[in-house]
Structure 1
Amino acid sequence: MICCKEQRGHRLKWFIFLKTLALSNISIDKCSCSDLKIGCTLPSESVNGNLSRPGDIVIGGIFRIYMKATYSDFRFTRKPLELKCEEVSIQHYQSMQALIFAIEEINASPEVLPNITLGFQIFDTCITIRRAAQGTLSLLSGGEGITPNYHCHKGAPLAGVVGDSGSTRSILMAHILGLYKYPQISYFSTSPILSKRDLFPSFFRTIPSDEFQMRGLAQMVAHFGWTWVGILANDDEYGQFGLQVAKQELMSGGACVAFTENILTGKPNRNAPHIAKVINDSTAKVVVVITSNSDFYIVAEELLKQNVTGKIWVASEAWSTSAYLSIDRFRALLVGTIGFAIHSGQLPKFNKYLNSLHPSKYPHDSYMAEFWEKVFSCKIIQQENVDNTTIKFCTGNEKLENFFIQDDHRSSLNLLHYVKNVNFLAKDGSHVFFDAKGNPPAIYDIVNWRVNPRGTLEQVTVGSYNLNAPDGNILNIVSAEIIWFNNDTQVPVSKCSPSCGSGFRKVIVPGKPPCCYECARCPQGQISNQTDAVECHPCSWDTWPNLQQDRCLPRPTEFLSYEQPLGYSLATISMFSSLTPIAILGIFIHYKTTPIVRANNYSLSCLLLLSLFLCFLCSLGFIGYPQPEKCLLRQVAFGMVFALCISCVLAKTITVVIAFNATKPGSRLRKWTGVKVSYCVIMLCALIQTIDCALWLIFSPPFHELDTDTQPGVIIANCNEGSPTAFWCMLGYLGLLASISFIVAFLARRLPDSFNEAKLITFSMLAFLSVWVSFIPAYLSARGMYTVAMEVFAILSSSWAVVGCIFVPKCYIILFRPNMNSRIHLSFKGKEA
């Protein structure tokens, strides 16, 4: 057993900065050990990789300095062999040197901690949790052995611990250090779980939480318009949390995840062959990689082996500035990479300090020797290898100036400014503080991997992501400065489906991700004026899409205009046709005493010719812009005039029948002869049509209308009939009168020609009915101005049918066969009949 005296506590307060490094109140418990008594003792656990310097106050450091760890077989029959660590990480070694540099700067300043010297004790985790636990417990036990809960070695008190870089190791350390309220400050642990103050009350960090980074990466992907993205992540807490947040944010931003693959850190090959095959087979051009540089190194080797090219790598902060990957071997693979990096600041004195490092100055720093050998690819001369001529030895004249010239040391910004209530402006103007969860301001640099003039890869800052940006511009990227993998400044395209251009919209394909869509033409009457439109938008009522369906144009207004060939042709025909009844009327008036005029009821003939004149003229009411007044009257005028016309024809037919039968001996029809009967028939027939039209105008009158539905892309200016029933009743009544006239005339067709014109009326009514029967289907099938044109054509044709069949033969006889226009000839014809 180990016996110790009762612990005596004391409290220290100090503020330490990089030039103003600050640390919070620390409670230190110490005890002095008595001589070991005979009995059981705790087994010792040696801790290798210790680098220390004495001081009045000690700052602990837990760093991942080595990149690889070699494990022994665990057979549980003997004590495991010591863990072997290999290959010093240049980047993490610089992080360790940043702590040493900061401590030396503070010790050299008489203003920061006068009369107090800071010391340090640094342990390497060798990328393992076991080493992180060993180093932490060793610091708490005094730095020499591991005795939990006891500080049994003489030496300076421990102020706090800087480290580790990995979240998994930092979580373990935070659980231990939080028990004793020792502050722990990590410069690279990004897991959001470390923000929980109930679990980790003394943990702080100078790098934002992954929660901010993953959202920022998703916003950057959306900024470049990438919608088909793969995700590659470690199978540890860092990678899995980042994968879930990034996937959720990408999908919320409208992107689709082509694949998600885990880097199996427990496997020596990291499952790299499978990962490389998935990436190579995928159509996604962009891959978000959430991993460490050492784990991605193995995957990158396999990607080169399988010749995977043409991909854009979106890097998380864990490898976005990795010197480990910025080698010529990966230049063709990683050029064009873009990613988030820890916000950087220029530290000229630190660069000078790094350039001054030399193994001769620090003979007890075993890490420096290995670092020197790796940088310059040589071996430091030792006694056992002096005679070996196959090894390149270090001369000691090597210089680090050229090696560190491009490094701005992103991972050490604001290092050791770890005080619970710290709040100040750094020299570069940035605001440094910790929120209630121990997190710093969420600020990242956006870096682009490109080939510099020397032909090597370098990371160039091309933007920033700052959640506290004063202007509200959180994501700021200078796209013109980015050079992609094809040495082009044009942003590469990563989409599952090609973009849908203007005039098209995206249509989701069942069973596929939303980003794997098809492009469909916008429906009729709708447009899309942007690429990848989700839906099309209808044009306003008075506009219509162009042929490309990317903008709306004013709709042309269509009506039967006088300026159109069809319009002025019908108008000309109508006017010239209206002169024909007038000319015939003049002939009848001039030859009113001749037998052929007198024998066919001169007064009814004149009235019929006047009505035909009006019939021809009423067609003009259908040509031209349909004004409201014109709409109100044109159909009514047409119905009334044609009713008068057909009534006259019917009256002539009835008169002929009555006159023929009245000549028979003893006929009672003599009293019905004369013009009174004819006029009564006309007035009765016209009255019925008048009543129909009056009711139409009173209850549902026609009105002006702009029709946008009948013909796509055209506004049809027309007259709505108001009541279709009234319109067809009016037209049907005309058909009824014409049918009665046809039937009566047909039955009287064999009467003597000297007394009647029944044959002529029969042909005229047959032609009249044929025209209007043909009009019905043509009218119903026509659209726009052609509907009106059909009605005008029917009016002119039916009017000409009456004129041509009834009056043209009579005018021919009057003008060209005057010998037939005599009573003798008519009497002779009558006798023959």
Structure 2
Amino acid sequence: MAGCRLPTGNTGGSINSPGDIIIGGTFRIHFERVGNDLHFTSKPPEVQCRIIATEFYQGLQALIFAVEEINADTELLPNVTLGFQALDSCNTLRRAAQGTLSMLSGGKEAIPNYHCHGGTPFAGLVGDSKSSRSILMAQILGLYHHPQISYFSTHPLLADRNLFPSFFRTIPSDELQMRGLAQLISHFGWSWLGLLASDDDYGQFGLQMVKQEIINAGACVAFSETILTSQPDRNAPYLTNVIKESTAKVVVVVASDSDFVVVLEELLRQNVSGHIWVASEAWATSDLLSEERFKGILLGTIGFAIFHGNMSKFSKYFNSLNPSKELYDPFIREFWEQSFACTWLFDTNPVILIGNSTKKSCTGNEMSNGLPPKEDQRLSLNVYTAVYAIAWALHNLLYCKPGTGPFYLGGCANISSFQPWQLLHYIRNINFKTKDGRHVFFDGAGNPPAVYDIVNWQVGARGMLEQVTVGSYELNGSSGKMFNIDRAKIVWINNNTQIPTSKCSPSCPSGYRKVIISGKPLCCYECARCPQGQISNQTGNAAECHPCSWDTWPNLQQDRCLPRPTEFLSYGDPLGYSLAAASIFSALDPLVILGVFIRYKKTPIVRANNYSLSCLLLLSLFLCFLCSLGFIGYPQPEKCLLRQVAFGMVFALCISCVLAKTITVVIAFNATKPGSRLRKWTGVKVSYCVIVLCALIQTIDCALWLIFSPPFHELDTDTKPGVIIVNCNEGSPTAFWCMLGYLGFLASISFIVAFLARRLPDSFNEAKLITFSMLAFLSVWVSFIPAYLSARGMYTVAMEVFAILSSSWAVVGCIFVPKCYIILFRPNMNSREHLMGKKKGANMP
């Protein structure tokens, strides 16, 4: 039978060191791979990698440094030597899978499900950086329950313990990072932004989470595009056009530096700048993007970075590396050439001509004078912490006391022959402090405490871009604050210290509110003036205006409420003191006329017109003029209670007197006819009965009004915007109009009776004068009704005062002024002979 064998593959460059227990590690030492056309007519070639990723090479050295430091520590894992097997995954899934299988097989060949080189237990694997590679590795390692601790994989899916029961990480999950990025965007007030993400697991899940968090925070996404990692140009020309045409000035990028650098190259070629880039931790501290040529684009970038910690000893260790001493390291010479722009040659010539440029020869002494390593060993710190987590788990396993152990019947594991699942128990429960005082543990999902640095990209002294730590983000931090940002340290575009803006629409000024435009995102809006009586005292985000309190009103800018001015018919207003003066002057006239009547009460014209009724009428007119003063001035509650009632009763007395005079005239002239039955009704009793009866009806109406629904003091804020009208509410409009209607009824009766008696043959006949007076009186009050109903504020009261004065003057002017004229200026007509003679002449045929 022919022999058989398992196919093997080259796992790429690796570094190995023997030990009692082996720790594995995978690193993306090279970030660019050379593409090969695969026709499958021959064996596919191995992946060719190029361009050293400095940050990940330092991570590899951090693993070596941590192992050496632990081996030198007499307290941690005494008498146990750790070894390691570290390899380059070269940014490919194939290399990551090959490397994982190789470590599980115990040698250089990847033989699934076989451990061909026994004797040295495999503790676990530190890696990988990219989430997609870690997911593949975790699926393999999880089958055998081998512990895996990633230093850079942040995909939330890796927290699923059902899918990945043996996966842990020393970097927080993307779920927490994306939530923090959204809060960072809100912190700076950016509401209109773009999103770029790679098309792998890290980018797409990160894109979905940060997009949702941004929307939940109230911001809007102008565009959301994908960096196509399967294309050599990463779809960069299209992405550049989208960025260039968008009005969003802030762009969030969730991608690795090796994918984003291609987009940056295109942005640089098309001279696109002026944007603020928000970086995820995958490229926030990238050496690849920190080159001087990118500073016109990336200056002012802000983002989340892995917590930097303090690794001064590692920095000294890394600075001491030299190709002449590290002969076991297959990457150091390439790293040296790339970092110091030199070439390793065995020629003595220090300068070499390559094409049209020159390159100096590498000497091995460049580290002390040339390009130093990064000061912030962020990724290296995570690798260092991961190695120590495995070491502490092994230490706890080593010092397990039989009978008190975590396994069956209190058993313990053997340090030289433990099972992977036994070590996994200890890793789940580690709880230790690092040498710089950090507390390290894993939660139920395998995540560490969430701590990030917030970094800002600034130009350093060497002209290179540097990442300056300007704050931190710590979930459930001891200070109680998630964010701790020093804004004074931040430098934005063009070295500006002012926070740039990125909004779809400009901020609405105070006094305006946002009006959403149909069919556009919520952040795109128009500004509309606040409705009447409402204010907005904030700039930019006022979705609604707020009404002022009842006693305040917005200023012209509608950004604050001011006390409302009060309005009433005041003695201090021109209208108020004019009406008050007219009322006082008018009230004197009936008194003057009364004095004339008293002075000339014996004269025929006074005696013929019922002297006592005339005096009573003049006194009531005096009160009518005076009652108008009750409507002027601040409407006190007592004034409100009495002023309309006083007006109604005084005017009822006045019109009752007029009606009594009219009835007296009719009775007097009809009683002179032979056989008239009206003789017994002549005299003053009838007149006074009419007055008492008419006035009593009005008195009853007013009494009922005061008892059941009296007028009251009122502050009216609805009638006139921005003004408090202080007035008297009539209480019962029905009672008010009944009172006014009753006056109209009395005046109408007086008018009708006087009109019918206007042709009675006598020189002393007052019927004509009463007819005109009542006609004027009714005209005034009929005109008053629509004017009263249409007037507002103090003009309503002024209208009523004017009607009172006008109607009172109508009675005075029509009834008493002609008589006073005869008494004072035509005394010859105020004689019995003249009046009788006129009567006689009037009766001549």
Please give the TM-score of this superposition, normalised by the length of structure 2.
0.91
State the 1:496 CA deviation.
Answer: 1.2
Does the CA contact (< 8 Å) of 1:752 and 1:829 recur in 2? no
Q: Against the structure 1 CA distance between its residues 349 and 830, is the aligned structure 2 distance closer, same or farther, given a 3 Å change threshold?
A: same
State the 1:385 CA deviation.
Answer: 11
Task: Indicate yes or no: 2:375 matched with 1:407.
Answer: yes
1:733 corresponding residue in structure 2: 742
Task: Indicate yes or no: 2:649 matched with 1:640.
Answer: yes
The amino acid across from 1:581 in the alignment is P
Does the CA contact (< 8 Å) of 1:142 and 1:155 recur in 2? no
1:190 corresponding residue in structure 2: 154
**Residues 2-17 of structure 1 mapped to structure 2, 5 A cutoff:** none
Task: Indicate yes or no: 2:322 matched with 1:355.
Answer: no
Separation of aligned partners in 2, 1:155 and 1:694: 117
**Residues 399-798 of structure 1 mapped to structure 2, 5 A cutoff:** 399-401=366-368, 402-404=370-372, 406-413=374-381, 414-418=385-389, 419=393, 420=427, 421-531=429-539, 532-798=541-807
State the 1:405 CA deviation.
Answer: 5.5
State the 1:799 CA deviation.
Answer: 0.6
The amino acid across from 1:408 in the alignment is D
The amino acid across from 1:42 in the alignment is L
- 1:633-691 Cα offsets, whole Å, 9 max, x none, are 21111111111111111221222222222223333333332222222222222222222
Task: Indicate yes or no: 2:232 matched with 1:268.
Answer: yes
Does the CA contact (< 8 Å) of 2:28 and 2:91 recur in 1? yes
1:31 corresponding residue in structure 2: none
Partner of 1:653, secondary structure, is: helix
State the 1:553 CA deviation.
Answer: 2.0
Q: Against the structure 1 CA distance between its residues 388 and 539, is the aligned structure 2 distance closer, same or farther, given a 3 Å change threshold?
A: closer
Separation of aligned partners in 2, 1:666 and 1:631: 54
- 1:527-567 Cα offsets, whole Å, 9 max, x none, are 22222222222222222222222222222222222232222
Partner of 2:523, secondary structure, is: coil
Does the CA contact (< 8 Å) of 1:441 and 1:468 recur in 2? no
Separation of aligned partners in 1, 2:825 and 2:95: 132
Does the CA contact (< 8 Å) of 1:58 and 1:159 recur in 2? yes
The amino acid across from 1:105 in the alignment is E
**Residues 154-165 of structure 1 mapped to structure 2, 5 A cutoff:** 156-165=120-129
Task: Indicate yes or no: 2:354 matched with 1:395.
Answer: no
Separation of aligned partners in 1, 2:840 and 2:692: 35
State the 1:210 CA deviation.
Answer: 0.5
The amino acid across from 1:511 in the alignment is G
State the 1:386 CA deviation.
Answer: 11
Does the CA contact (< 8 Å) of 2:192 and 2:504 recur in 1? yes
Separation of aligned partners in 1, 2:532 and 2:487: 38
Separation of aligned partners in 1, 2:372 and 2:696: 112
Separation of aligned partners in 1, 2:451 and 2:373: 24
Separation of aligned partners in 1, 2:757 and 2:268: 107
State the 1:302 CA deviation.
Answer: 1.4
The amino acid across from 2:527 in the alignment is C
Q: Against the structure 1 CA distance between its residues 780 and 387, is the aligned structure 2 distance closer, same or farther, given a 3 Å change threshold?
A: closer
Partner of 1:520, secondary structure, is: strand
The amino acid across from 2:377 in the alignment is H
1:14 corresponding residue in structure 2: none
Does the CA contact (< 8 Å) of 1:336 and 1:450 recur in 2? yes
State the 1:294 CA deviation.
Answer: 0.5
1:288 corresponding residue in structure 2: 252
Partner of 1:138, secondary structure, is: helix
Separation of aligned partners in 2, 1:716 and 1:574: 23
State the 1:610 CA deviation.
Answer: 0.7
2:406 corresponding residue in structure 1: none
State the 1:158 CA deviation.
Answer: 2.4
The amino acid across from 2:435 in the alignment is K
Partner of 1:208, secondary structure, is: coil
- 1:774-807 Cα offsets, whole Å, 9 max, x none, are 1111111111111111111111111111111111
Task: Indicate yes or no: 2:207 matched with 1:199.
Answer: no
The amino acid across from 2:603 in the alignment is T
2:173 corresponding residue in structure 1: 209
Separation of aligned partners in 1, 2:257 and 2:440: 28
Q: After alignment, is 434-443 or 316-325 more displaced?
A: 434-443
Does the CA contact (< 8 Å) of 1:739 and 1:769 recur in 2? yes
- 1:373-404 Cα offsets, whole Å, 9 max, x none, are 11112211158999974352423054224523
The amino acid across from 1:71 in the alignment is G
Separation of aligned partners in 1, 2:118 and 2:697: 129
Partner of 1:483, secondary structure, is: coil
The amino acid across from 2:362 in the alignment is T
Separation of aligned partners in 2, 1:417 and 1:751: 131
Amino-acid identity (%): 73
The counterpart of 1:308, out of the listed 272, 275, 283, is 272
Q: Which runs of 5+ in 2 are unaligned?
A: 394-426
Separation of aligned partners in 1, 2:729 and 2:10: 102
Separation of aligned partners in 2, 1:111 and 1:745: 129
Does the CA contact (< 8 Å) of 2:89 and 2:95 recur in 1? yes
1:16 corresponding residue in structure 2: none
The counterpart of 1:804, out of the listed 813, 834, 841, is 813
Q: Against the structure 1 CA distance between its residues 485 and 155, is the aligned structure 2 distance closer, same or farther, given a 3 Å change threshold?
A: farther
Separation of aligned partners in 1, 2:558 and 2:643: 39
Matched residue pairs, number? Answer: 797
Does the CA contact (< 8 Å) of 1:233 and 1:289 recur in 2? yes
1:99 corresponding residue in structure 2: 63
Does the CA contact (< 8 Å) of 2:351 and 2:359 recur in 1? no
State the 1:758 CA deviation.
Answer: 2.0
Partner of 1:40, secondary structure, is: coil
The amino acid across from 1:82 in the alignment is E
Q: Please, what is the CA RMSD of the aligned residues?
A: 2.0
Separation of aligned partners in 1, 2:667 and 2:807: 27
Separation of aligned partners in 1, 2:585 and 2:350: 126
Partner of 1:744, secondary structure, is: helix
The counterpart of 1:170, out of the listed 115, 122, 134, is 134
The amino acid across from 1:482 in the alignment is I
**Residues 378-389 of structure 1 mapped to structure 2, 5 A cutoff:** 378-381=342-345, 389=353
State the 1:155 CA deviation.
Answer: 6.7
1:7 corresponding residue in structure 2: none
Separation of aligned partners in 2, 1:424 and 1:47: 34
Partner of 2:371, secondary structure, is: helix
2:28 corresponding residue in structure 1: 64
State the 1:808 CA deviation.
Answer: 1.2
Q: Against the structure 1 CA distance between its residues 106 and 247, is the aligned structure 2 distance closer, same or farther, given a 3 Å change threshold?
A: same
State the 1:212 CA deviation.
Answer: 0.6
Separation of aligned partners in 1, 2:43 and 2:828: 149
Task: Indicate yes or no: 2:218 matched with 1:250.
Answer: no
Please give the TM-score of this superposition, normalised by the length of structure 1.
0.92
The amino acid across from 2:371 in the alignment is F
Q: Against the structure 1 CA distance between its residues 382 and 58, is the aligned structure 2 distance closer, same or farther, given a 3 Å change threshold?
A: farther
Separation of aligned partners in 2, 1:454 and 1:71: 35
Does the CA contact (< 8 Å) of 1:450 and 1:460 recur in 2? yes
Does the CA contact (< 8 Å) of 2:250 and 2:275 recur in 1? yes
